Copies of this chain bind each other. A is one copy, B any other.
């Protein structure tokens, strides 16, 4: 299940100074280009207690053309990674520490969810809504890897209520009043 085209060379470290991001000459490539250290500690926590560090070719050049990338996510007690979709990748989540309620929903609106613990792995198929919540007593950390160098992320609440879709359509889609929709829009406006 491929999300990216096949590579045409061993690797292609993007030449960030070049306008068309051509590959660097291999003599200018070093081992450091293939190592990412930015995930050694948690990212910046949101108010709700969720933090991510996402690696992709722009901050981890060695990933370019390899068809993979990853995210480190940290959850304070009770924090969530809200329902979202990666349009271009399946995801495999490894629990580094903590206990996490995790799951996804299939095309028939059936949820597959479970509490997973340190050392366990859960997989979310490409393009389907999935989510996590720290249900343990301490911080939880997960490592999620993707089979695309740029999987994309669409958070459901923000993409629907925070994007400027016509109110009338949202009222009909969610069975909410105009007032309720406007409250949702204020909450998720970006």
Contact = CB atoms under 8 A, between A and B. Distances in A.
A126 B175 CA distance: 26
Nearest to A173: B82
Contacts of A133: 166, 168-169, 172
Interface in A37-59: 37, 39-41, 48, 55
A31 B119 contact: no
Interface string A116-137: 1111111111111101010000
Nearest to A12: B125
A68 B35 CA distance: 21
Contacts of A118: 40
B7 A88 contact: yes
Nearest to A29: B112
